[in-house]
Structure 1
Amino acid sequence: MKKFLSLLIALVMALSFATGAGAASKPLSIWVDGEQVQFGSNAPIVEKGTTLVPVRMLLEKLSFKIDWDEENRVVTATSTNPRNEAIISLQIDHTTAYVNSKPQQLTVAPKIQNKATYVPLRFIVEATGYEIDWNEAERTISIDTVQESRGFMWKVEKDGNTVYMLGSIHVANEAMYPLRDEIMDAFMEADHLALEIDFTKEEDMTAFIDSISKYQDGTSLAHHVSTETYQYVTELLTDLEYPTYALDQYKPWFASIVLDSLRREESEYKSELGIDEFFMNLAEKSKLPIIGLENSQSQLNMFNNFSDRIQEEMLVGSIISFYVEDEPVRDLSDMWINGDLDTLTAMAAQTQKADAEYYKAMLQDRNVLMAEKIDAFLKDGKNETYFVVVGALHMAGEHGLVTLLEQKGYTVTRV
């Protein structure tokens, strides 16, 4: 069952620096991408448990241009890196700073000392999108460029039309970003973004969801799952401090979705950080047209049409996720960051082997329909570029989109 849980989740796919008064005399050193920052006489200082550094020396190392407003005593840092559009403003002796015009509260106000402007190190690093690490034994602070996620992307071309296919993860954490340049460049080329579902155009689904997720015949969840499974449900709801009957009206597949949603509330992996959501938000901001390859009704009907066995396994898997020590999505996330195609392909094969009904409905049948729409994009004769983002498992394996398009005669190249 734990194996099934991992497959299902795959598809659904404070740091401060302080030293005490009696700290070791070894001087504090700061390194950026392996190179030590030379502060000279203006060494970092610690005030109220917060490390402050000369802003110009540090931010110039982080590819920022520095401007100083003498009259208002405001320092403004503007990124010179096209992938990072951050603009940071700080005012001497004020604890409110601004990142892209949004206010941020500082633990310690910027100050001028020895004719240099000192700012809180932690705030600067977080605002500029770098990773930071403190080695207490060596008294070193390491600031490193965040590893760009490789992900899974392919390119298909025909008669002037181009389709980029990005295999995504539907739930992710902040460590997933930034994405590598090739992915972002492909998105910037696109005339259209295609997602599994275009949520920007979805109508209110409440009535439809109620009609298929709840029992209409007077029965309840306890009548459709084993006594043991229902006991697991009531025990979990008790642990979560919900009424034991809270899920009684729902079918197992929807109860599973409800529990998965509750589980993610305590997890760093969230749907709002998913790759699909990331590009949908970018497309909305840039007014890029969005195409839905499917719709919510089709996906919900798929779950509703699962056999009682599959639905109960989904529910049990969701319950187990609350009691496993490790975050089940972490391995999937690492696979995506590293672009590990061998593991992705093995996962698709394992899903097929684990359960034929689940695999056919969740992947095989949907892949055929997606491949037909991508084929239509390539044949529309408009000389346009489409950026397609669907779950990564739709890409791999003998029934994956890459294979299906190759069977249609296309050359599919991983980018």
Structure 2
Amino acid sequence: MRLKPTLTALFAAATLALPAGAQECVGRNLFDTMAPERLAELRAATSGVPYHQGLFWRAEKAGQRVTLLGTYHFADPRHDLAMTRFGPEIDRAAALLVEAGPEEEAKLAEAMTADPTLIVNPQGPTLPERLSDAEWKSLSAALEQRGLPAVIASRLRPWYVAVMLGISPCMMRIVETRGDTGGLDHLLIDRARAAEVPVQALEPWDTVFTLFEGMTAKEEEDMIRAAMPAAEYADDYTVTLTDAYFSGDSWMIWEFGRFDAYDKSGLSRDEVDEQMRLAQEKLMDQRNESWIEPIEQAAAKAAAQGKGVVAGFGALHLPGEHGVLRLLENRGWTISPVTVEGIGDGG
């Protein structure tokens, strides 16, 4: 398999953020067949999270304006609805802010090609040595389906394994065929470049390689264990996550991963909760907090030109006490939803 991941694709998988379109990966929506009491638990776990429903927002403060778009990192024809609504805003914006622009994605791909040790551990115990025989058998089979032979998979770094488990085999084949994820992020970037609107990255290109520093061996191994249940029925999981995104239920995705791991990972609830806490802290909260300053700086600069800015990033970065929307609200911004017919309204 050619390893040409983009930063957005890596983060999408690692944060359970929305693998690809149900129209291409055939499966069933697991919410439709879920026991009513479990679905009620998921909704209860989600209901108290700030800004848990909705994908598109406006933030305003003292004449400054930011349009915030929660993106889905893979191809789907429904992205056309969002582009019809927000394309003109990009055309007249002072800048488009994204997780990673073309330059950052190119640097990431180049670095991973030039230095395989970024994702492969040439020293220390292998994954078969770190996991039980049954765990390694299941894991190696899942990675084989994703184009990674056991001899290579055995030395992959645990964070990269978790990333790969988050992408269904059918989605990997589609991305390989397309040569691109085709996600909303890239459509936004293409529109900005066509309009000669500057594209600004919210973080350095090598962020992904620093996120998991300091984790213990047990935490790394549990990260794989928590990711394994979804890999067992990847196409169904893909359809479920896709439908949740286009219904605007971003945080339901996160809680679904938690409860699925409760049931099937072999970890205790406390261990799963700790994994979820670590993942949220490293993959979302810390990054969200680091994005606020560049967003505010870009908005202030744009306001001086009589313009606004557009910011597009994975939808799971929007909700929560440490989500981008609440962080901006805490700094005096007024937050209001923006509707797009056919997205985020149960459609």
Q: What band does the TM-score fall into relative to the shorter chain?
A: 0.5 to 0.7
**Aligned position for 2:287:** 366
**Aligned position for 1:11:** 17
Structure 1 distance, partners of 2:201, 2:145, is 39
Tell me: CA distance 1:236–1:345, structure 2 relative to 1, closer, same or farther (3 Å): closer
**1:355 correspondence with 2:276:** yes
Shift of residue 275, structure 1, vs aligned partner = 1.3
**1:265 correspondence with 2:271:** no
Q: How big is each residue's C-alpha offset from its partner over 1:86-122, in whole Å with a ceiling of 9 and x where there is no partner?
A: xxxxxxxxxxxxxxxxxxxxxxxxxxxxxxxxxxxxx
Q: How big is each residue's C-alpha offset from its partner over 1:188-229, in whole Å with a ceiling of 9 and x where there is no partner?
A: 331211101123344221267523322243542223334332
**1:250 correspondence with 2:172:** no
**Aligned position for 1:330:** 239
**Contact 1:349/1:397, CA 8 A, preserved across alignment:** no
Q: How big is each residue's C-alpha offset from its partner over 1:9-51, in whole Å with a ceiling of 9 and x where there is no partner?
A: 63365xxxxxxxxxxxxxxxxxxxxxxxxxxxxxxxxxxxxxx
Q: How big is each residue's C-alpha offset from its partner over 1:264-295, in whole Å with a ceiling of 9 and x where there is no partner?
A: 22469986221112212222333321100012
Tell me: CA distance 1:364–1:244, structure 2 relative to 1, closer, same or farther (3 Å): closer
Query: 1:201-280 residue pairs with structure 2 within 5 A?
Result: 201=104, 202-203=106-107, 204-206=110-112, 210-236=116-142, 243-258=149-164, 260=166, 263=169, 264-266=171-173, 272-280=181-189
| More displaced stretch, 199-208 vs 346-355 | 346-355
Shift of residue 167, structure 1, vs aligned partner = 0.9
**Contact 1:163/1:388, CA 8 A, preserved across alignment:** yes
**Aligned position for 1:46:** none
**Aligned position for 1:394:** 317
Larger radius of gyration: 1
**Contact 1:10/1:329, CA 8 A, preserved across alignment:** no
Query: Between the two proteins, what is the percent identity of the paired residues?
Result: 19
**SS of equivalent to 1:174:** coil
**SS of equivalent to 1:329:** helix
**1:375 correspondence with 2:282:** no
Shift of residue 366, structure 1, vs aligned partner = 1.1
User: What amino acid does structure 1 have at the position aligned with 2:206?
Assistant: Q
Q: Identify the structure with the greater strand proportion.
A: 1
Structure 2 distance, partners of 1:308, 1:355, is 16
Contiguous gaps of at least 5 residues in structure 1: 1-5, 14-149
Structure 2 distance, partners of 1:354, 1:369, is 22
Structure 1 distance, partners of 2:300, 2:233, is 47
- TM-score (norm: length of structure 2): 0.65
Shift of residue 400, structure 1, vs aligned partner = 1.0
**1:385 correspondence with 2:294:** no
| More displaced stretch, 292-301 vs 207-216 | 207-216
Tell me: CA distance 1:208–1:372, structure 2 relative to 1, closer, same or farther (3 Å): farther
**Contact 1:9/1:329, CA 8 A, preserved across alignment:** no
| More displaced stretch, 339-348 vs 387-396 | 339-348
**SS of equivalent to 2:320:** coil
**Contact 1:164/1:387, CA 8 A, preserved across alignment:** yes
**Contact 1:283/1:290, CA 8 A, preserved across alignment:** yes
**SS of equivalent to 2:211:** helix
**Aligned position for 2:207:** 298
Q: 1:404 aligns with which of 324, 327, 330?
A: 327
Shift of residue 162, structure 1, vs aligned partner = 1.8
Q: Identify the structure with the greater helix proportion.
A: 2
Structure 2 distance, partners of 1:194, 1:288, is 10
CA-based RMSD of the aligned residues comes to 3.7
**SS of equivalent to 1:178:** helix
Tell me: CA distance 1:210–1:246, structure 2 relative to 1, closer, same or farther (3 Å): closer
